[in-house]
Structure formats: structure tokens, C-alpha cells
Structure 1
Amino acid sequence: MIEVEGLTKRYGRHTVVDDVTFRCEPGTVTGFLGPNGAGKSTTMRMICGLTPPSAGRATVAGRPYRDLPNPGREIGVLLDASAQHVGRTGREVLAVAAQTMGVAPGRVPDTLGRVGLNPTAAGRRVRAYSLGMRQRLGLAYALLGDPRGLILDEPANGLDPEGIFWMRGLLRDFADRGGTVLLSSHLLREVEAVADRLVVIGGGRVVAQGDRDDLLSGAGTLVRARDPDALRAALGAAGLDATGGTDGGLLVAAPAGVVGQAAADAGVALTELRPAGSGGLEQIFLALTAGTSVQEAVR
């Protein structure tokens, strides 16, 4: 299990990650989504002990990552496919990793084959690898220790459509055998196809999370107002459950007419009101994170 509780990261006055909380259960793929600058990579780095949090904590298998005696045997990590020794061959990269983790040397060729790097590719220097090949090598590194979990940041970058389809099957099989996967990606349709649960962040905060089917069921309304606090108060007064979005956006588990009436009764002016679900994950993602990528880029 991967568990994140109230993770917060501040750089001076700027808060990059703000009170992020979620859990990744064994046997599931959790899609971790958000626009550029939303705090996804920083959150993953805090889980893996690379960035110290300003507040909160994260655990893997019940312990902080830094306290794991042999982390590669517990959790496989791929945060940056370019962070590899370009002077080594793919086979040498994994051989060194196998020695470090105490893994049998025989797992090296098996793992390379599992990610689609044949003996010819494995014998090339990493500097000659395409981005897609480096992604496959990075995934092989993550899988080498036969871990119970995977943390992957944009693992499909550089893969062609066939490679993306292959990765989807690999991650689905890993989870179906009891593994835990935390997957960050901008390829929303691929995440929608493989993920069991979704966590969406915008502006450093969780704006929606839950089972994929529940979030995409369409049983709800997307609503936005110039005064999001007043809108949330109006919905709460009407007994309506809402999942917080940014830029005034909320996902409400009620028909559009009921939501609109609650806002009207409270005198809240709406800028958007429409049924959710017809556009799938892409529509909900855009509605919940509208404006955050621009805000983060300006910062």
C-alpha cells in the first residue's frame, strides 16, 4: 500500500503541494492526474524520499521510503527516464542494479525481455537509445527487484501507440496479480483505460478522487461560479455533496436543475452549469483543473 497523509511542500511563500491525501491499495492502478505545475512530480518525489515535505507524511508498505532496508525490492520507481548512465549498455545498467539490490543475475535478461528490449538493444549504449527505449529500460529497472508496487511518472512518454498499448497491458497484469501502481500521465485516455482509481490535483490540492467508474458515471453536474466559496456554501446548505475544483469548478452528485436551483436560492451567479460524464475523463479533468496550468506557468 502507498499512503499519503496531508503532504505539503512550500518553497518560501509559494506552496507547491497543499495538504494532499490519498491511498493506493494493492491490486489497483491509481491514475494521478493534473496539469503542468499542479504538484504531481513533487508529490511523487516526496513519497520516494527525494524531496522533504514541509508537512505531512508518506509511507510505502507502512514505512517511509527512506526507512525501507532495500527499497527496490518493495517499490519500483520511474521518475525520469533520462536519469541513466549513458555510457553503459542497457544490460550493464540492470546488472549494476541487480548487484545493488541483491537480485539474482538471471533476472537481468528476463526483465529486459519482459519490457521488449532484445539482446541487440540491451547491448547498446544508453546514449544511443531513443526516449521510448529509455522508458522501457527505466521500467525494467523498476521491475527488476520484483517489487509489490510501482510509482511511475509519465512512463509512456516517447512510446509509439503499440508501446502504449503494451504498457497498459503490463500495468494491468501487475495490478491483477496483487501489485499496487501509482501512475502519473498526461495521456488521459490511456489512464481512463487502465486505472481503477483516480486522484486529480490542481494548484497543489486534490480536487477530486475516487473510483474511476464513479467519477465517470455521469451521475452529477459540473458547475462553476465567480465566487467558489459562496457556491460551496450554497450547495452545502442544500445538502448537496460536491467535489472541490479550481477556478470555481465543482463536481456535484445531483441533477443540473437541482444544482442550479440551490445556487439561485442563495443568489450565487453561475458561469457554467452542465451534466458531467458525457465527455469522459478528459471533460471532467478540464472542468476540475481549469485555469491551474496558466496560473502555475505564470508563477
Structure 2
Amino acid sequence: MIMVEHLTKRYGPHTVVDNISFHCEPGTVTGFLGPNGAGKSTTMRMICGLTPPTDGSATVAGRPYRQLPNPGREIGVLLDASAQHSGRTGRETLTLAATTMGVDRSRVAEVLDLVGLNAVAARRRVGAYSLGMRQRLGLALALLGDPRVLILDEPANGLDPEGIYWMRGLLRDFADRGGTVLLSSHLLREVEAVADRLLVVGGGRIVAQGGRDELLADTGTLVRARDSLALRLTLQRAALDATADTNGGFVVHADPGVVGQAAADAGVVLTELRPAAGGGLEQLFLTLTAGATTKEAVK
């Protein structure tokens, strides 16, 4: 299990992660979502002992990462697929890691096959790998110690559609066998397809967390009008919290009846008025993170 309690990180006057708490249970995939600069990567780095927190704590299997006697056997981490020695081959990279963790070298061939890197790719130097191949190698390193927990930051970046589908199955199988996965990704449709739970952050704070079906069942009201500007002004005058979607409409945090009445009172002709649940995770993400900064946090 991953347990995060009141975790905070400040760089001088800048608060990057602001008092967040959550847990990830065995047998589940938790989708960790938020715009750039929201604090996702910093949170993952604090869980993995790479960045010291200002306040709060994070544990894996009941211990801080740095107190695990052999962390690679407990938790598999992929935070940066490019963080490999470019002069080593894929097989050399994994063999060195296996030696460090005390893993039998036969495991190297197993994980290479598991992530789809064949013998030719294994002999190639990492500097000649494509981004997708680096992602596969990074995932092989994360799986090498047969851990119970995976923490993955954008693991599908650089993969083609077939590779993304393959990764989805791999993570789902890992969780179904009792593993715990914390997955950060901008590929919202893929997260929606594989995640059991969702954790959404904005501006360093948690703005929503819970079961996927629970969160997606209540995403507000979707409304569109012939005159989008008139509709926006109407919603503002009615003090209705609204977020523009990608198709010229708005998602409003109110019941359809309330939204429809406000439009009718203002004489605005609507072309669509319905619960927004059909928008899926993408719409939920846009609604919850509206106004959150898209600038990178101070490092």
C-alpha cells in the first residue's frame, strides 16, 4: 500500500504540493491526474525518497522509501525513461540492476520478453533507443525486482497505439494479481480505461479523489447555445460556476433545471442541455482543474 499523509513541499515562498493525503490499495490502479505544474511529479519524487518533503510523510508497505532494506524488491519506479546510461546496452542496464538488487540474472530475460524488447534491442546501446523503447526498458527496470507496488510517471509517452494497449493490459494484470499501481498520465482515455480510482490535483492541492465510476457519475451539466458569448454572460450573472469545454459549450456545476431556467430568463436559446457524465474523464479533468496554472512549478 502507498500511504500519503499531509504531504507538503515548498521551494522558498512557492508551495508546489499543499497538504495532500491519499492512499493506494493493493489490487488497484490509481490514476494520478492534473495539469502541468500541479505537483504530480513532485509528489511521486517525495514518495520515492528523491525529494524531501517540507511537511507530512509518505510510506510504501508501511515504511518511508529510504528505510526499505531493498527498495527495488518492494517498489518499481519509472519517473524518467531517459535517465539511463546511454553507453550501456539494454541488457547490461538490467543486469547491473539485477546484481544491485540481488535478483537472479535469469529475471533479465524474463522482463525483456515481458516488455517486448527482443534480443536485437537488448544488445543495442540505450543511446540509440527510441523514446518508446526507453519507456519499455524503464518499465522492465521497474518490474525487475518483482515488486508489489509500481509508481509510473507518463509511462506511455512515446508508445504507439499498440504499445499503449499493451501497457494497459500489463498494468491491469499487475493489479489483478494484487499489485498496487500509481499512474500519472496525460492520456486521459487510457487512464479511464485502466484505473479503478482517480486522484485529481490542481495548484498543488487535491481537487477530487475516489472511485472512477463514482467521480464520472457526477460531472455537472453540459450546456450549449447558438450564442456562446450570451450564454457565458448569463451564467456569470447567475453566479453559476462554469467551465468552457472543447466544443464551444460549458460544463456548469448545477442541475440542468437551474441552468435551463437561467437561460430562459435571459432569453438565451439553448441547443443542448444535459448531464455532462457522457463527457467522461476528459470533461471531468477540465472541469475540476479549470483555472489551475499550466506553468511549470519552480524546481
Runs of 4+ in 1 over 2 A off after TM superposition: 218-226, 254-261, 273-276, 296-299
Question: In the alignment, what sits opposite 2:7?
Answer: 7
Give the SS at the match of 2:293.
helix
Secondary structure class of the residue paired with 1:178: coil
1:163 matches 2:163 = yes
Distance across 2 between alignment mates of 1:165 and 1:218: 27
> Contact 1:218–1:278 at 8 Å: present in 2 too?
no
Contact residue 220 and residue 275 of structure 1 kept, 8 A: yes
The corresponding residue for 1:47 is: 47
Partner of 1:69: 69
What residue number does 2:284 align with? 284
Query: Partner residue of 1:204?
Result: 204
User: What is the percentage of aligned positions where both structures have the same residue?
Assistant: 78
Corresponding residue for 1:131?
Answer: 131
In 2, the alpha carbon distance for the partners of 1:150 and 1:297 equals 25
Say whether the 8 Å CA contact 1:222–1:287 is kept in structure 2: no
The answer as to 2:171 corresponding to 1:178 is no
Aligned residue number for residue 60 of structure 1: 60
**Compared CA separation, residues 104 and 280, structure 1 to 2 (3 A):** same
Asked whether the 8 Å contact 1:33–1:186 carries over to 2, the reply is yes
Task: Give TM-score scaled by structure 1 length.
Answer: 0.83
Q: Is the 8 A contact 1:86 1:127 kept in 2?
A: yes
How far does residue 277 in structure 1 lie from its aligned partner after superposition?
Answer: 1.2
Q: Displacement, 1:290?
A: 1.3
Kindly provide the CA deviation profile for residues 218-245 of structure 1, in whole angstroms up to 9, marking residues without a partner as x: 475589998xxx999xxxxxxxxxxxxx
Pairs within 5 Å for 1:111-260: 111-218=111-218, 220=220, 255-257=255-257
> Closer, same or farther in 2 for the Cα pair 1:193/1:126, shift >3 Å?
same
* Counterpart-to-counterpart distance in 2, 1:97 and 1:218: 45
Higher Cα Rg: structure 1 or 2? 2
How much has 1:48 moved relative to structure 2? 0.3
Judging changes above 3 Å, is the alpha-carbon distance between structure 1 residues 17 and 251 closer, same or farther for their aligned structure 2 residues?
farther
Match for 2:289: what amino acid?
Answer: T
Cα distance per residue 1:135-182 (max 9 Å; x no partner): 000000000000001000000010000000000000000000000000
> Equivalent residue for 1:29?
29
Inter-partner Cα distance in structure 2 for 1:186 and 1:219: 19
Contact 1:77 1:142 in 2 (8 A): yes
What is the Cα deviation at residue 208 of structure 1?
Answer: 0.5
Task: Give the alignment's Cα RMSD to 1 decimal.
Answer: 2.6
Name structure 1 gaps, 5 residues minimum: 233-249, 262-272
